[in-house]
Chains A and B, each alone.
Chain A
């Protein structure tokens, strides 16, 4: 009897001391550091390329503060700046969209394309590039020249069609799990149609289509950006308006409803905004893989919070930084060759995310989400 009692007491005494909370850098400081990193990456993206241009000359070209050669001026203004701005905007948009989808679907594997938006865009592009070209010479321009507007439009319409279908289906389902499965099913169905088109198409056109599918920040020109930036700007502002209901939904739909959130409306809005952002990026840059999944996780880990009031703006900065980094690596500085963007996002991003997840605090708390 006494033995048992002793054992019991001993167990209580052996309780491990509580770990002392690690000193945390305040959130504004972390956001500041992140912004500084993004600015440096932006400068790097302008300096590096097939031929490096010194930072001073980049400055001269941008601000007209000194003499630069016409060639340098053209490279900075017509190649590198549009590419960097596209990367910034696309990365931010995909990060925002991914964050909202992960919270809405309560799934750490959710990403902006999970409901089939990129498959829709692919189908649109496949129809334009593959089907219209088959059996005739009508499709010769391909993705170049006048064909580019056609591709963007086709991708946008494909993405919008799938999004519209998903929004319609979302009205009939109560459960986000069901919605997730439906989205994956719709995506598979649409991808199957793309496969049918690919199988029966001319190999040269398939090559073009495959290139589009690898994603690129180099495509958009200033006229493209005149469309891309305002649309993404509106989408980002709309995302910021969803911060409060998204926070309430951290505890699940039921709790959100008891806190006065109209869950059906919020779900619809999130689907619309997140898929709209991702669809717009896809239309101009192709389906940029991985960023939408990775950026929210990296942001949560960097700021160790689940609060969307912090995560939303932080995802904008983090998304811009990661996309700039990937875009710069993809341009293979110092060489004339270019890597497929999607290979870089996955090859650069995946090890980072795995390392951070395994070593960071998030791992001990059952994942970042």
Chain B
């Protein structure tokens, strides 16, 4: 995806283009409250674009507007060069498909029937499915790895399986852009990784513009081709690395306790390395790496392999086969389990920060 020289004119761009788009919602007094003002961004085909932002920043409103569920307050939203606002509902449904957070399904519906509903924009007056429709349904189920779920009732499926079936329903619409609202909510870590990598495959393999709205910052930054970062009525777009480097992700997400660590692309407890005491860890892997991670979590600065080791670490840990040996303030300590050691190290870190 190195075609950065592609003109950004909406008439020729492929994928989803927001141009000077303002979105908002209608309050109880039926007045429009703007949430995002004049945002411009692009989600290209073949790329996974992640829409990030704190709660209430306007992610959902933006998704609703792009889906045509709410009108834009001003500006345009183009899909493959065509203004979405000028499309009819049925035209839009043939080029843009959505996976929403609502997953209520009548108990009797089977996975294949749910996916078949995605053919709705393509079928005739009676909704009768022809051979092509059946092929697309089978293809959509296969694309999300849910072929073996086809005859199961949707109500019987796990959250992760249901998410895949709903994604297949959207694919069955044969869209050129796919929008997903919080697809990894309610999923365990395995499910989150599976769904995210599936979306990446779909973007690349099917040449779709995939836009995912999520809270899952760390995972998103690892897999996103492009990030739309929404906060305070604005949208900044860039690659995850660009936005990390410019400090914009940190500016949006840093809290009182956690800060975004540009190097690792993850969050760590507050405080600069200088303010925190350093620890060095040696010993057998992978226990040593886990020990270092535990220490970082409880507030120690543990330099990574590329960083210079601190000359006078406050805590020196050696991880043995079954014991954790450490030296703190000149005296040796020994712990039998990582849990015991971590609690002890947290106590030390707290002592320091309160003194």
Distance of A117 from chain B, by nearest CB (Å) = 24
User: Known: A258-B98, A260-B120. Is A306-B127 also a contact (CB below 8 A)?
Assistant: no
A369 x B100 contact (CB < 8 A): no
Given A258-B69, A365-B153, A365-B156; A251-B94 close (CB under 8 Å): no
B102 partner residues in chain A, CB cutoff 8 A: 251-252, 254-255
Q: Which of B152-183 contact A (CB under 8 A)?
A: 153, 155-156, 173
- Assembly CA distance A241 to B105 (angstroms): 23
Interface status of A267 (Cβ within 8 A of chain B): no
Chain A residues whose C-beta falls within 8 Å of the C-beta of B90 in the assembled complex: 260
Contacts of B98 on A, CB cut-off 8 Å?
255, 258
Chain A interface residue count, CB cutoff 8 Å, equals 30
Which residue of chain A has the shortest Cβ distance to B113 in the bound complex? A307
Q: Find chain A residues with CB under 8 A from B120 CB.
A: 244, 247-248, 259-261
Distance in Å from the Cβ of B296 to the closest Cβ of chain A? Answer: 22
User: What are the residues of chain B within 8 A of A368 when measuring CB–CB?
Assistant: 106-108
> A244-B127, A307-B113 known; A260 and B93 CB under 8 Å?
yes
Q: Taking the complex as formed, is A304 at the interface, i.e. its CB lies under 8 A from any CB of chain B?
A: yes
- A369 and B106 form a contact (CB under 8 A): yes
Give the total number of A-B pairs whose CB atoms are below 8 A apart: 91
Interface size class of B (residues with CB under 8 A): 35 or more
Give bound CA distance, A306 to B112, whole Å.
12
Tell me, in angstroms, the Cα distance from A305 to B97 when the chains sit together. Answer: 25
Q: Knowing A260-B120, A262-B89, A365-B156 are in contact, say whether A250-B109 is a contact too (CB < 8 A).
A: yes
Q: How far is the CA of A366 from the CA of B89 in the complex (A)?
A: 32
Given contacts A21-B151, A255-B100, A259-B117, contact A300 B108 (CB under 8 A): yes
Residue pair A306, B106 in contact (C-beta under 8 Å): yes
State A104–B9 Cα separation when bound (angstroms): 43
- CB-defined A-B contacts under 8 Å, sample of 5: A258-B93, A262-B89, A365-B107, A365-B108, A369-B107
Task: List 8 tightest A-B contacts by C-beta distance, closest first.
Answer: A365-B107, A260-B93, A260-B90, A244-B127, A259-B120, A306-B108, A260-B89, A365-B155
B interface residues (Cβ-Cβ under 8 A, vs A) = 67-69, 88-94, 96-98, 100, 102, 104-109, 113-114, 117-118, 120-121, 123, 125-128, 151, 153, 155-156, 173
Q: Supply 16 further A-B pairs (C-beta < 8 A) apart from A251-B104, A259-B173, A304-B108.
A: A241-B125, A248-B117, A251-B102, A251-B105, A251-B114, A251-B117, A255-B100, A258-B67, A259-B93, A259-B117, A259-B121, A260-B88, A260-B89, A260-B94, A306-B106, A366-B107
User: Hey, which bits of chain A sit against chain B, CB under 8 A?
Assistant: 21, 106, 241, 243-244, 247-248, 250-252, 254-255, 257-262, 300, 304-307, 309, 362, 365-369
